[in-house]
């Protein structure tokens, strides 16, 4: 039986390239691809793939939060992070969110196939380049994350933080999340209180530092 894969990456050329390569592999089947973390959750709900190949930095809903949501609702679905980021924070956040694998975009296609097979078989897979980082620093770094104000934020508050940092208005966020503007205003106040920040500019800097969003367009 083929391993059913969902591709999630905000770069079309990467999605198309991976789609083409995986479809040529006799054990793989790409069931869908998307450039949006929120759409990825909907596709998982609809298609129930075996493996989700997940980018981290995406607008709207980043790969970390998308992974956390997918694993929470569909624990049988396995997520492999495919990212340019080799920093400890990204690795820790993705693994804490429930990802079963983490590989770098610079890897060869054969390594991606190896990772998919390993994770589909119930094992974890980390790119060799970052294995030492995880072994040496993950436990210590995870403790620092747990102690941070960011961990006190609820899932909805993290979503609002990201969307505010991306420059969306209260009305736009309310429409996207299907709630009232008063609810978003309350969420924003709660976020600012918990993070001890006092302006949208400070919120934006915080979101970028935590890897929730990027200043790149």
Residue 214 located in a structural domain: no
Q: Do 125 and 26 lie in a common domain?
A: yes
Question: How many domains would you assign to the chain?
Answer: 2
Q: Are 96 and 88 in contact (CB under 8 A)?
A: no
Say what the pLDDT of residue 217 is.
45
Q: Which two tokens stand for residue 80?
A: 């492999």
Residue 101 located in a structural domain: yes
User: Please, is 156 exposed, middle or buried when counting C-beta atoms within 10 Å of its C-beta (0-12, 13-18, 19+)?
Assistant: middle
**Element of type H or E holding 132:** helix 128-146
Residue 102 located in a structural domain: yes
Say what the pLDDT of residue 155 is.
87
Q: Do 24 and 99 lie in a common domain?
A: yes
Residue 109 located in a structural domain: yes
Range of the domain at 75: 3-137
Q: Do 103 and 25 lie in a common domain?
A: yes
Q: Do 86 and 123 lie in a common domain?
A: yes
Q: Are 96 and 90 in contact (CB under 8 A)?
A: no
Threshold 0.85, pTM exceeds: no
> CATH code at 34?
3.40.50.2300
Q: Do 35 and 62 lie in a common domain?
A: yes
Q: Do 71 and 153 lie in a common domain?
A: no
Tell me the three state secondary structure of residue 31.
Answer: strand
Residue 76 located in a structural domain: yes
Q: Do 64 and 128 lie in a common domain?
A: yes
Q: Do 167 and 126 lie in a common domain?
A: no
Say what the pLDDT of residue 143 is.
59
Q: Are 101 and 119 in contact (CB under 8 A)?
A: yes
Q: Do 91 and 169 lie in a common domain?
A: no
User: Which residues have CB under 8 Å from 114's CB, separation 6+?
Assistant: 125
Q: Do 61 and 18 lie in a common domain?
A: yes
Q: Do 110 and 40 lie in a common domain?
A: yes
User: Which residues have CB under 8 Å from 151's CB, separation 6+?
Assistant: 145
User: Which residues have CB under 8 Å from 39's CB, separation 6+?
Assistant: none
Say what the pLDDT of residue 150 is.
72
C-alpha 168/C-alpha 191 separation (Å) is 16
Q: Do 74 and 127 lie in a common domain?
A: yes
Say what the pLDDT of residue 148 is.
66
Residue 178 located in a structural domain: yes
Q: What is the mean pLDDT of each run of 10 residues along the chain (217 residues)?
A: 93 93 93 94 96 91 94 96 88 92 92 95 90 70 61 85 90 93 93 89 84 65
Residue 217 located in a structural domain: no
């Amino acid at each position: 039986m083929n391993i059913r894969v969902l591709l999630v990456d905000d770069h079309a050329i990467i999605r198309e390239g991976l789609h083409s390569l995986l479809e040529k592999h006799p054990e793989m089947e790409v069931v869908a691809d998307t450039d949006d973390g929120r759409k990825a959750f909907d596709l998982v709900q609809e298609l129930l793939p075996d493996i989700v190949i997940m980018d981290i930095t995406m607008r709207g809903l980043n790969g970390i939060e998308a992974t956390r949501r997918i694993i929470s609702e569909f624990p049988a679905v396995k997520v492999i992070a495919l990212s340019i980021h080799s920093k400890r924070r990204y690795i820790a956040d993705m693994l804490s969110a429930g990802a079963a694998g983490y590989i770098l975009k610079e890897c060869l296609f054969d390594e991606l196939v190896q990772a998919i097979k390993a994770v589909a078989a119930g094992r974890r897979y980390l790119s060799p380049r970052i294995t030492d980082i995880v072994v040496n620093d993950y436990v210590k770094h995870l403790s620092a994350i747990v102690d941070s104000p960011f961990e006190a934020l609820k899932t909805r508050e993290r979503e609002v933080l990201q969307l505010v940092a991306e420059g969306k208005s209260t009305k736009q966020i309310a429409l996207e999340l299907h709630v009232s503007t008063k609810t978003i205003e309350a969420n924003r106040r709660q976020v600012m209180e918990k993070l001890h920040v006092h302006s949208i500019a400070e919120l934006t800097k915080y979101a970028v530092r935590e890897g929730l969003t990027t200043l790149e367009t």
